[in-house]
Structure 1
């Protein structure tokens, strides 16, 4: 299913789950009322979590209409609605920790989890914002945990402007908040370099996709 995965020498195998947030989170204010929080290496035992998710999640391939043809989605997908059990206890712990840290600011809990498996550098996601549902008109948050080999996550203002790059993997956390989904776009570009697989776990509030 995937190419070779190179574990991190910094990953701590004798503990698992989310580490503390609090003051370890770095917030960057963006234009138009958007912001991002970054917490590197948030998930302890992230490489083991990657291996479990790669093997146990019921990954599916999708095809979508694009212009005048149907094309393969260049990544594998899984989605867990708010009443679905998550595929690993570490994800339950992570969602609970995110809710504790962000609920006062967000005003509601994270409820759903979408997972994407990028098998190698050929897998990608094009520029977009999560604007299906309330994200089109309301401020919201999307929290993304990356496990596996790092991949570049790019952000840019809608309509063009300087691009921000974060290489995310091995348990890193990024949270996009404020107006980010409707005033900025993000993407995971293709790469010609030899890259190992990565899984992103996206936690969202109700009716945000």
Structure 2
């Protein structure tokens, strides 16, 4: 699955052979392109500095707990903090338009400060992802972390190492038939995740 490539060339066009697709089950799939985002180090530094990161708290069972990462979401038409992300979103929208049928519109950002920060098992099923096929495109920046995926009904799980500048796109039925997580690890450096989504997919 290690594909060293970029979608951004001298002609600013998408190389259709640059992304490797892994078919899952029940119509779900994952696309992967290694080292996809140009200037990933600069994008990382800019996001750490300029995103208005916020800490959130969430009710879990009978108590409020800290969300183990910092977050911020850029909504529709809100300028992104680095021009490389604007280009990435536009290129993804162009590349997947025939399959997705619409552009990517929002950019959710997560800041995993160290190995203690994580995201639990879930699918992006608030909004249309609960009933329709859709896509979530993740650009990973900084230290390597593992994206774990597992079928909701049980079965073999999948692990995808996400490194600096890597692209992972979850598509088809993935949000409603599979779950994904970024688990805690004993030791890790800072990592950022930018998740591009279509309208009304959370």
Q: Given the two structures, how large is their TM-score scaled by the length of structure 2?
A: 0.93
Cα gap change, 1:152 to 1:54, in 2 (>3 Å): same
Deviation at 1:132, TM superposition (A): 0.3
**1:207 matched residue in structure 2:** 200
Alignment coverage as a number of residue pairs: 194
What is the rounded CA distance, in whole Å, between the counterparts of 1:163 and 1:61 in structure 2? 30
**2:29 matched residue in structure 1:** 35
**1:169 matched residue in structure 2:** 163
Runs of 4+ in 1 over 6 A off after TM superposition: none
What is the rounded CA distance, in whole Å, between the counterparts of 1:28 and 1:48 in structure 2? 30
Partner SS state of residue 143, structure 1: strand
**1:100 matched residue in structure 2:** 94
What is the rounded CA distance, in whole Å, between the counterparts of 1:17 and 1:141 in structure 2? 18
Deviation at 1:49, TM superposition (A): 1.0
What is the rounded CA distance, in whole Å, between the counterparts of 2:185 and 2:53 in structure 1? 22
**1:6 matched residue in structure 2:** none
What is the rounded CA distance, in whole Å, between the counterparts of 1:110 and 1:23 in structure 2? 21
What is the rounded CA distance, in whole Å, between the counterparts of 2:15 and 2:86 in structure 1? 16
Partner SS state of residue 82, structure 1: coil
The partner residue of 1:152 within 146, 152, 157 is 146
Question: Are 1:60 and 2:54 counterparts?
Answer: yes
What is the rounded CA distance, in whole Å, between the counterparts of 1:63 and 1:18 in structure 2? 38
What is the rounded CA distance, in whole Å, between the counterparts of 2:118 and 2:188 in structure 1? 12
Partner SS state of residue 102, structure 1: helix
- Contact 1:17–1:90 at 8 Å: present in 2 too? no
- Contact 1:120–1:196 at 8 Å: present in 2 too? yes
Deviation at 1:21, TM superposition (A): 4.0
Question: Are 1:120 and 2:86 counterparts?
Answer: no
**2:66 matched residue in structure 1:** 72
Partner SS state of residue 161, structure 1: coil
Question: Are 1:130 and 2:124 counterparts?
Answer: yes
Gaps of 5+ in 2: 1-5
- Contact 1:21–1:39 at 8 Å: present in 2 too? no
Cα gap change, 1:17 to 1:140, in 2 (>3 Å): closer
Partner SS state of residue 96, structure 1: helix
Q: Given the two structures, how large is their TM-score scaled by the length of structure 1?
A: 0.90
